[in-house]
Chains A and B, each alone.
Chain A
């Protein structure tokens, strides 16, 4: 399991995280939600060992701050928000970068093909990464991450997928597909920690939700307990309505358009869209 206690992060003079506690168990999809600038990505960067932090964080009992990169790489894969490539690699070559054995020289071509099929990109092997659309690139990166930690359990030790906004540039079909891959990974014994913006996908796929506000945990628990109109309105500063799907299966989380502040054209000639409308 991934366990973080009292995580503080300062970037420059600004304190981004003020003592975050978080536990992500194997077998579950844990979602981190919160508004822009609340510290979600910083938290993930701390938990991947990328940036320095105060507090304690362990992955399967291994101290994240003190671990060697290869130790962590054997236990977790990380999907970044976006990834640019410096050189013209083919899709096959990008996904192969995820194969630890592959980069050491062995032939892991079959796993590359399987991972690409899993993200619905079978047949894209010979395409150049840079010529793909943003959503396709993101799925190629996910295939690379899957290659790195293909089996959710390694010698009975769970491995983790760290996903930073995995569905942000995907169409609805592929959003569902990626979330199903995450849920399936958890169902087979692995762990998933995902930063999410889409509250409905969070409600549908997360087993555990951590709501972050201004670098602190505002609420954590099962989706129905965290995704309440009271919590969300406080944290997102936007009136929300919580309902159930028309067929009664699952939650619906919607902005309350009637109660939302209309755009004030007189005071905001330039129209600040993000503040006035509720967005996501």
Chain B
């Protein structure tokens, strides 16, 4: 594993800030900068790849200057009304899934806690499906009250309830049992799935088509309206998540020690749970079940820059966005001109990765 091992500055010369062995801050900062550049590149790549062949330079020029003379009208429509919303939404969702995964893992003190695996996404999904199916019927007044936000809000509420139940069931005296957490997650996920199934049973044909595609997970059909519905939730959570970093670092040592270090543990847990549920709910509401981003991205970054959440959370936001855009590119390319739901791509890559983490931990940690 890479560790920055620069020795202290030469005697007699002040070099600030001094770097110390075992302190991976400098590496982490460099990684974040590199990821930001990578995200910019992948963003442009995502805009330019697809059925219409567009020059990256022309797209970049049009984006930066607003002068779109170098691209044709068709290209303009394709890029600004189809690909740009899709790319923006993909980046938002990738960032949201990875950050909520990292926060949840920190909160549960476990690298296997992921909203998709422990049933939080299923709970959020139940909330979303409830409004997709009943939003035009019995729940129409509530839907009207929340406008375009009604599905994200319902998903947030479903995710919140599931997260609270999960934490209550799996945590005793400040320690979270992994076995209990995973089993409770399976049970809660199955319960949410059962109710979702009931709603699907009631759905009409049009709703059924919507639900099926939604359930597989996709950022296709992204519109500026969808972005407007979830960006006000995802952007603040992703940008403010680093404020949770100090608390998550302290929680690494357990709830009691976190409190000894000055953290108001109960209040912190409430804030973190709401943040996870909000980010997961928003992502699930527009893109359905995109699994494993929340577990793969934080895990890879912990291997690279260490688990300090001050750096881990921003890095997760960037790499999450990069990974989702790349997965979306694969989803568009594999069976072109048709496309796969992106959830299939992330699961095909993520599930074996999850098994690999389990195997690595076997023998080190008693599950």
Residue of B whose beta carbon sits closest to that of A109: B20
Residues of B within 8 A of A69 (CB): 259-265
Q: Which residues 257-279 of B sit at the A interface, judged by CB distance below 8 A?
A: 257, 259-265
Residues of B within 8 A of A77 (CB): 260
Residues of A within 8 A of B17 (CB): 107, 109
B22's contact among A50, A93, A97, A110, by CB below 8 Å, is which? A93
Residue with the greatest number of chain A CB neighbours at <10 A, chosen from B22, B109, B249, B310: B22
Q: Which residues 103-137 of A sit at the B interface, judged by CB distance below 8 A?
A: 103-105, 107, 109-110, 112-113, 124-127, 130
B165 within 8 A of A: no
A74 within 8 A of B: yes
A92's contact among B22, B249, B257, B364, by CB below 8 Å, is which? B22
- Closest beta carbon of chain B to A107's beta carbon, Å: 5
Residue of A whose beta carbon sits closest to that of B268: A69
- Closest beta carbon of chain B to A269's beta carbon, Å: 31
| Interface size range on B against A | 35 or more
* Interface-lining segment among A23-31, A82-90, A235-243, A250-258: A82-90
A228 within 8 A of B: no
B257's contact among A80, A89, A93, A125, by CB below 8 Å, is which? A80
Are A87 and B22 within 8 A (Cβ)?
no
Residue with the greatest number of chain A CB neighbours at <10 A, chosen from B246, B260, B307: B260
Residue of B whose beta carbon sits closest to that of A90: B22
Residues of A within 8 A of B24 (CB): 90, 93
Q: Given A48-B260, A73-B261, A93-B306 in contact, is the A109-B246 Cβ separation under 8 Å?
A: no
Q: Which residues 49-87 of A sit at the B interface, judged by CB distance below 8 A?
A: 49-50, 68-70, 72-74, 77-78, 80, 83-87
Are A87 and B3 within 8 A (Cβ)?
no
A104→B264 CA distance, assembly (Å): 15
Give a binary string over B295-313; 1 marks a CB under 8 Å from any A CB, 0 the rest.
0000000100011101000
Complex A-B, nearest 6 residue pairs according to Cβ-Cβ distance, in ascending order: A73-B262, A92-B22, A87-B307, A125-B22, A86-B109, A126-B22
CB pairs A–B below 8 angstroms (6 shown): A45-B256, A80-B254, A80-B256, A86-B111, A94-B253, A125-B23
Are A83 and B254 within 8 A (Cβ)?
yes
Interface residues contributed by chain A, number (CB under 8 Å): 43
Are A89 and B260 within 8 A (Cβ)?
no
A93→B24 CA distance, assembly (Å): 8
- Closest beta carbon of chain B to A60's beta carbon, Å: 16
A92→B310 CA distance, assembly (Å): 15
Are B308 and A83 within 8 A (Cβ)?
no
- Closest beta carbon of chain A to B335's beta carbon, Å: 39
- Closest beta carbon of chain A to B178's beta carbon, Å: 10
Contact residues of B: prevailing secondary structure: loop
A152 within 8 A of B: no
A216 within 8 A of B: no
- Closest beta carbon of chain A to B231's beta carbon, Å: 28
Are B307 and A125 within 8 A (Cβ)?
no
Residue of B whose beta carbon sits closest to that of A100: B262
Q: Given A78-B257, A104-B246 in contact, is the A109-B111 Cβ separation under 8 Å?
A: no
Binding site for B on A (CB under 8 A): 45, 48-50, 68-70, 72-74, 77-78, 80, 83-94, 96-98, 100, 103-105, 107, 109-110, 112-113, 124-127, 130, 148
Residue of A whose beta carbon sits closest to that of B176: A86
A243→B123 CA distance, assembly (Å): 67
Additional A-B contacts beyond A69-B261, A90-B22, A90-B24 (17; CB < 8 A): A48-B260, A69-B264, A70-B262, A72-B262, A85-B252, A89-B306, A89-B307, A92-B21, A93-B308, A97-B252, A103-B246, A103-B250, A125-B23, A126-B5, A126-B21, A127-B22, A148-B261
A97→B254 CA distance, assembly (Å): 12
- Closest beta carbon of chain A to B4's beta carbon, Å: 9
Residues of A within 8 A of B111 (CB): 86-87
Residue with the greatest number of chain A CB neighbours at <10 A, chosen from B21, B106, B250, B254: B21
A127→B254 CA distance, assembly (Å): 21
Are B256 and A97 within 8 A (Cβ)?
no
- Closest beta carbon of chain A to B24's beta carbon, Å: 7
Residue with the greatest number of chain A CB neighbours at <10 A, chosen from B5, B20, B251: B20
A84→B109 CA distance, assembly (Å): 10
Give a binary string over B344-367; 1 marks a CB under 8 Å from any A CB, 0 the rest.
000000000000000000001000
Are B307 and A88 within 8 A (Cβ)?
yes
- Closest beta carbon of chain A to B170's beta carbon, Å: 14
Q: Which residues 232-263 of B sit at the A interface, judged by CB distance below 8 A?
A: 246, 249-254, 256-257, 259-263
Q: Given A90-B3, A97-B253 in contact, is the A73-B20 Cβ separation under 8 Å?
A: no
B31 within 8 A of A: no
B13 within 8 A of A: no
- Closest beta carbon of chain B to A47's beta carbon, Å: 11
Residues of A within 8 A of B250 (CB): 97, 103
Are A112 and B20 within 8 A (Cβ)?
yes
A70→B250 CA distance, assembly (Å): 12
Q: Given A100-B262, A103-B249, A103-B250 in contact, is the A110-B257 Cβ separation under 8 Å?
A: no
B223 within 8 A of A: no
A109's contact among B23, B263, B265, B310, by CB below 8 Å, is which? B23
- Closest beta carbon of chain B to A160's beta carbon, Å: 12
